[in-house]
Amino acid sequence: MPEKTLVSDITDDVIVPGVKKKDPIVVAHAVSRRFGGLTAVDVAHLEIPRGSITALIGPNGAGKTTFFNLLTGFDKPNTGNWTFKGKSLAGVPAFKVSRMGMVRTFQLTKALSGMTVLENMRLGATKQGGENIFVSLFKPLWKAKEDEITERAMQLLAKFKLDTKKDDYASSLSGGQKKLLEMARALMSSPELVMLDEPMAGVNPALTQSLLGHIVNLKDEGMTVLFVEHDMHMVNTIADWVVVMAEGKVVAEGPPSTVMSDPAVIDAYLGAHHATDLGTIEGQLEVAEDMQSDLIRNEVEHDAEAAGIAVPGHESAPTADAPSTPVDTEEKK
């Protein structure tokens, strides 16, 4: 598994929500966003460490995506200020944020379906003079840059194993391939900070592993990654640092091992059975046992007998560290 950044390289202070980082790339302070009476985001202080992979987790409606939108200029906060590489981003429009080196992807994949895979990639490139309406009329003025862009696009596509699909319309790709394309497209501009909004949503288990690898590679290439994810297995595997949001606030942060065992986090988000695989009879029985519900227990046992599966004794119920499938099932309350 990938080598993780040491906690001592991220911070020396006592780990509490809003802790100072040694080398933050993004610093957000008192950022809040209200929709009518609802406060969607209310982050007192948060620093994202440079050169590492930070996961942003939290239950549905915790304000993760809204916070993403605020940081990237897609939405404007009611209060607060935030900086990227020490430069204030308050009031900076989304396209300029992207040009500064902070590129995002979307929860609902935004592949430009009416364009080919290669055109999608080329669009991600920066400093193409031919994007000026007057320059664009004269091909010799932008041809050389276009060749350069195409070469880089093909390299990235090859890395993401999409090079054979370069002339296909993006609409013909599978959901997982669209996620890959969106990530590859974001990398065309050589960003410093890549922000991925649920990169694993809708991706089949076979692709999950390669996506994980790609994200770890970003870090190896010197980029900082911030991602929103519900898949705890993924967070555990690749994140150096985890930030937990609930009801708009940062309720905990720290390295994954510490955060995952924080009782406040487990209660607020993960649930007592977050590591239980509900896809198996054993897992379901374990939950039934805990809920002390005879009804559920009887039902599960009945189903198991009907299917000819031996019902295991409760003593041998699986422990928290024995999930068997590649995608960890999390229980949401």
Partner 1 sequence: MNGNFIWLAIGQIFDPTVAAYALATIGLVIHFGFTGLLNFGQAGFMAVGGYAFAITSVIYSWPLWGSFLAAIVAATIFALILGIPTLRLRADYLSIVTIAAAEIIRLSVKTPEFSDVTGGSEGINGAARAFNAVNPLPEGRWGLMGTPLVYNQDQWWIRIVGWGLVALACLLVFLLMRSPWGRVIMGIREDEDAVRSLGKNVFSYKIQALILGGVLGGLAGVVFILPRSLQPDNYGTQLTFFLYTIMLLGGAATVFGPVVGSIIFWVTLSLTDGLLSLGIEAGVLPLTTTQTGPIRFIIVGVALMLLVIFRPQGIFGKKKDLHFA
Buried b (16+ CB within 10 A) or exposed e, 41-66: bbbeebbbbbbbbbbbbbbeebbbbb
CB of residue 72 vs partner 1: minimum separation in angstroms? 7
Decide whether 109 or 208 has the Cβ nearer to partner 1.
109
Length of the chain: 333
Which residue lies nearer to partner 1 by CB, 226 or 235?
226
Q: What angle do CA 99, 179, 130 make, to 5 degrees?
A: 40
> Closest separation between CB of residue 222 and partner 1, Å?
20
193, 101 Cβ separation under 8 angstroms = yes
CB 88, min distance to partner 1, A: 18
Rounded to whole angstroms, the Cα distance separating 121 from 189 reads 10
Rounded to a whole number of angstroms, the minimum distance from the CB of residue 104 to partner 1 is: 5
Cα→Cα distances 61→58, 133, 200, 232, Å: 8, 42, 18, 17
If the CB atoms of residues 66 and 237 are measured against partner 1, the closer one turns out to be 66
Specify the DSSP class assigned to residue 169.
B
Cβ 333 to partner 1 shortest distance, Å:
32
Can you tell me which residue has the tokens 């890395």? 159
Q: In the bound complex, what is the minimum distance in angstroms from residue 130's beta carbon to partner 1?
A: 4
CB of 53 to partner 1, least distance (A): 20
Q: Which is nearer to partner 1, 78 or 128 (CB)?
A: 128
Report d(CA 198, CA 292) in Å as an integer: 35
Rounded to 5 degrees, φ, ψ at 46 are -150, 135
Nearest CA among 251, 323, 254, 230 for reference residue 283: 323
Q: Quick one: 132 or 261, whose CB is closer to partner 1? A: 132
What's the rounded Cα separation, in Å, for the pair 51 and 219?
Answer: 6
Residues that bind partner 1 (CB under 8 A): 72, 74, 93-96, 98-99, 103-106, 110-115, 119, 122-124, 126, 128, 130-133, 135-137, 139, 142, 146, 169, 171, 182, 185-186, 188-189
Nearer to partner 1, 83 or 189 (CB): 189
b/e per residue 201-219 (b: at least 16 CB within 10 A): bebeeebbeebbebbbebb
> What SS3 class is residue 160?
coil
Cβ closest to partner 1, residue 167 vs residue 315: 167
